[in-house]
Every structure is written in C-alpha cells, then in structure tokens.
Structure 1
C-alpha cells in the first residue's frame, strides 16, 4: 500500500512507524499543493523540503518505506534525493524537457534520482503532450529521454492508472468532467488537467498495450534486455534495494 500525500503525518514523524506496521510501503511526500513536508509541483514558491520533511524521510529510511517524489516540486525532490540514505523513486512522471508541464520532472531531478540509485517511472497520462491527449509515440519519447538522462537501469513504467479498456467513452467523459471540477475546487489539480483530457494514453489501452509498447521500443532500436528492464526488471531491483528480500 502507499500514500500520495504526507498531510496525515501532522507534526509527528513517528507516525511513519504506525503506517509501516499497517503495511504502508510507499510514501509520497506531497501531492500537487504544498504541505508540512515540502512543496508540491503546483506550489509556486518551490521552497523545498522542510525540516519536518527531513525527519519523515529519515524515519521512512529506517523503516524501509519507499520515499516517492512523483508530485513534488523540483526543490523538494532534489532535497529529498540528497537527504535520503536509501534510493528514492519518482514512480509516475514525465520529462519536462520533452513536455514543459509542472507534473513532469526536470533533467536535474531525473539525473540526481538515478545517480542515487533510484527509479523513474514514465506514466500514461495527458501531461506527456501539451495538447492533453497523449499517444503511444509520446510515451516512447519520454522513455527515450529518461533513458538518455538516467541510464537504462533506472527507468521503467509507472502508468498512474489502470490498464483496462474503456467501453463507453461518452459516459466516462461525463464522470471525468465532474472529477476535474472536484479536483479544481479542492485545489489539488495539476496544470494541463481539463475536462476534455483523458488520464490515459488514447492508443495504448487494453490487454495489448504493453505488447504494442514493446514493438514501438524495438522499432526505436531498444534491445530485448533494455526493454525487459523498462517493463519491470528495474523496478523489481529498486524495490528489493529499498524493501529488502
């Protein structure tokens, strides 16, 4: 199990122990806004990890809880990577050098996380393309850039969603519009979220999506071994490094 926000920590870093004992193994420090641990990707101040955030990271390291910075601001991510004694993850993101949106990570973030032994997962989300309608070719472009920055041993897939096909798109669009409105009202939405965007890659859905991705990576010249790493071997190794076993 994992959290996508550290707000429930209050002011007590020992709560990490409570959650770890209950089975939490992934701890994302912030969501899109700022909290008491650090700034999220949509916090304009970009203030970095707080002193309390450093306490939480240290406690998570002690309990072998994976520290994740997918939604953090740039300085918070860089601070956490430098502070953590264990490798950290950005397990669902894109590359800002490819698509300049706040939910995507800068080369500095990607590089430092990889240098510290961490993991970067490329998501299947609309933020891969400024149009808000990501396609399979966008996924490949972001994977390719991440591999160039991080090396092939630190990049994988972090879809940030399910893998099922949507049969009734019109009905789904109505529900999605309500969800986007709710997120905006709560102040948790990200730049690039609109009622007409889909939280998935439009031509990479259903049971064949990963086979299609393999074919696209092969066409880009990726070896079978590199593809195997991206499709799961890298995350498995990283998870073993953090969790043990």
Structure 2
C-alpha cells in the first residue's frame, strides 16, 4: 500500500495527478499499521456521544503520511506535495484539525523555507483539499460549526513560523487572504519577529514583531507562541489586544526542558483569555512520574496546566503524524546535522518508539476522552477541553 507503483486509486491525496509522473514519489507509510496498546476505557457509549455530539478540535496536528523508509527523508522534505490520510482522519472523531505542515519543514532544511516555498505548498494543499469529499477549509467559526453539523472534517490552515514573511508586514494580509488563520511567531530559532526557544540569549519580541502582532490582531489571525522563547511569549501576550494561543506545548514544572512553558507563561496566557494545547509528540511531554512518554505522562502535563490556568484555558494539540514519528525525529536530526534538536537534556528519561495512547490523529481524541471519563471528569469539562475552549477563543480572535 502507498508504494510508487500503486494504482492512482490506492492513495487519496492529489487524485487528479499521476504519482511518480507528475511529481516525485517516495513510498509512504501505511496509516493503519501503527496502533497503541492503550484502550480508551469501558464506557464506549459515553465516549461515542462525547465525540459525536460536540465540536472536537485538534489544536495542532500533522495528518500527513511519513515515509515508509526513512532513508527517503531528504527527498520527502524537499517535496511540496503532501499526502494526507483522509479516510483515517474521518475515523478520528474530529470536527476540525489545525493543519500546521507549513513552515515546520523549513526548520528541517539548512537554508530554511522561503516565501515562495510557503505559498507554493499552501496552494498545493488547498488544491488537494478542494478535490476531496467530506472535508472543508475553515476560515470562520461558522465553517467549523457547519462541518460538525454536516459530518465533515474542517481543516484550519496554519503555520508554525512567521519567518517566511521576513520584514514584509503585508504578507500577513496575503496569508490571511489565502486561508491561513493561525501563525506561530517563531519556530525555535530567532527571526525578524523575536527569539525562539533554542536561543541562549532571549531577546524577546522585536519592534517588527510588535507590529506583526498588531497586524495579526487587526486582520483576525490567531497568534501562536508554542516555539517562542519565554520572553517572546510574554511580550506577545502583553502586546496582543486579543488572546494568544500556545497550540502545542507542555508544562516546564512537569518536565524542565526549553520546549515546555514555565508557569509564568501559562498563567499570563490564561489571564488574557488564551488557550494551551497539550503536546504529545515523542520525547516532549515526559514527566517526573512517567519518564517513558505515554498518554499518562502527557496527562500529567494536562492536570498541571488545569491547576495553573483553569480548565477553561486548556485543550489538546497532540502534534502527531501517520507513521513512525520517533524515527522521523531521528531522520530530521540527521538531515540538519544536529543530534540535539529533540534532546531532553541530561535528565533521566527513556526514549520510546511511540507514545502509547497517542500514536496518531486517528486514536488521539478517543483515547483522551476515555482517559478523562475514567478519571472522573464531567461531560461539560470534557467537551470544553476537547474543543469548546478553542471554539470560544476563535470567536474572540477571528473576524
């Protein structure tokens, strides 16, 4: 399945193109091949109703297929055609997914993504979505509610970095016009807007960054500080006239690495009306109590965030893909010549082949709902963190 020799109807993305003829092809993973051992719980009927009767939103995911052979990673990263596991995603119980492929791949190339790369990939992505049944591109809250009513999956276009706008403020308007509704200010390394989490000297938000925040507020684009430095995050939250999101991260008090957010940032985000999406990508949301990452370690970050921020400011942005995510991390590190890009420092922890319970977008939210049911959360609390909190935030930010 998903081999270069496959017939056109054996894969879903770009059905109007000839694979291996109209674009280079690498063999892709089978999206149904990897499942966690974790079970969602015993109350299947309650879980079914929670997912079917309410708006469920992934604040950050990559519903694309990874290469089957990670020797193909360089070719995979160069390609601008992205393959989505649409059938799998329809089984996930999701109303909407914040699709953030754009920009993050630029961080895995030595020269980074440029403006033309972003626009080309975004256009190709929208063309693919336009040729799919049962999916819509969400530009308004009404689009998400309509997807829930009609049984469709809504894709919210986002990018993890604003680096590609360089110092051109009007490019924010262009991206908004093309459907981008959420943008990260910085991805790990500093750009013209501010410092990223990898910088040793935290310069915070720049003058241009403040102008970008103002423009994003004005146009109605959600600001994300997931990969921004602590100072940049705090500066952006303070400078923004609208609530700011942390679409995918965890709590540094639970696992003290730069990728996680300190309580100071979490509190500031909540005080201004923002929402945190709990991260689940391998080797991120580890915890002192669960040093081999699983749904249990991820939920350690959730419970801490609820204590610090209040449950009305917490959601989930699992940041997962279809395929061997842990092996993909290693392959990316090899491509960019860094063995520490996903390093958790000198702390005692255990590398895993997958995050049991949160392996891919298909199983994530059913397992999260099951965990919450098993741990005594009320229905109104569960529906809030599965999507209601994000929907409220979007109503305040989007125009």
Query: TM-score normalised to the size of structure 2?
Result: 0.55
2:261 matches 1:128: no
1:142 paired to 2:301: yes
Other structure's SS at 1:128 match: coil
Match of 1:189 in 2: 341
Can you list the C-alpha shifts for 1:98-134, whole angstroms capped at 9, x where unaligned?
0011111010111111110111000112211168741
Contact 1:24 1:65 in 2 (8 A): yes
| Aligned 8 A contact 2:181 2:221 in 1 | yes
Aligned equivalent of 1:180:
333
Structure 2 gap segments, 5+ residues each: 1-156
1:225 is displaced (CA, Å) by 1.1
* Distance in 1 of aligned mates of 2:336 and 2:278: 22
Which secondary structure state, in structure 1, belongs to the residue aligned with residue 180 of structure 2?
Answer: coil
Q: Does 1:160 align with 2:322?
A: no
Q: Deviations over 1:177-218 (max 9, x none)?
A: 322212444x9934439xx95695223335444333223223
Q: State the alpha-carbon separation in 2 of the partners of residues 218 and 106 from structure 1.
A: 28
| Corresponding residue of 1:222 | 377
Distance (whole Å) between structure 2 residues aligned to residue 135 and residue 50 of structure 1: 37
Mapped contact 2:318–2:364 kept (Cα < 8 A): no
Could you list the per-position Cα deviations for residues 18-66 of structure 1 after superposition, in whole angstroms to 9, with x for gaps in the alignment? 1111111111000011111111111110111011100000001000011
Give the alignment of 1:229-240 within 5 angstroms: 229-240=384-395
Coordinate RMSD, CA, aligned = 2.4
Q: Which moved more, 1:51-60 or 1:153-162?
A: 153-162
**In the alignment, does 2:217 pair up with 1:61?**
yes
Structure 1 gaps of 5+ residues are: none
- Aligned residue number for residue 12 of structure 1: 168
Q: Matched residues in 2 for 1:99 and 1:6: separation?
A: 27
* Structure 2 Cα separation of the partners of residues 77 and 197 of structure 1: 29
Alignment partner, residue 72 of structure 1: 228
Task: Determine if contact 2:320/2:359 at 8 Å carries over to the other structure.
Answer: no
Per-residue deviation, 1:11: 1.6
- Say if 1:210 and 1:117 are closer, same or farther in 2 by CA, change over 3 A: same
15 and 192 in structure 1: CA distance in 2 versus 1, 3 angstrom threshold: same
Distance 1:17 1:138, change over 3 A: same
Give the structure with higher Rg (CA): 2
Give the corresponding residue for 2:53: none
Q: 1-side partners of 2:215 and 2:313: how far apart?
A: 24
Which structure is higher in RCO with an 8 Å CA cutoff and minimum separation 6?
Answer: 2
Q: Could you tell me how far apart the structure 1 residues matched to 2:212 and 2:268 are?
A: 20
Runs of 4+ in 1 over 6 A off after TM superposition: none
Cα distance in 2 between the residues matched to 1:208 and 1:9: 35
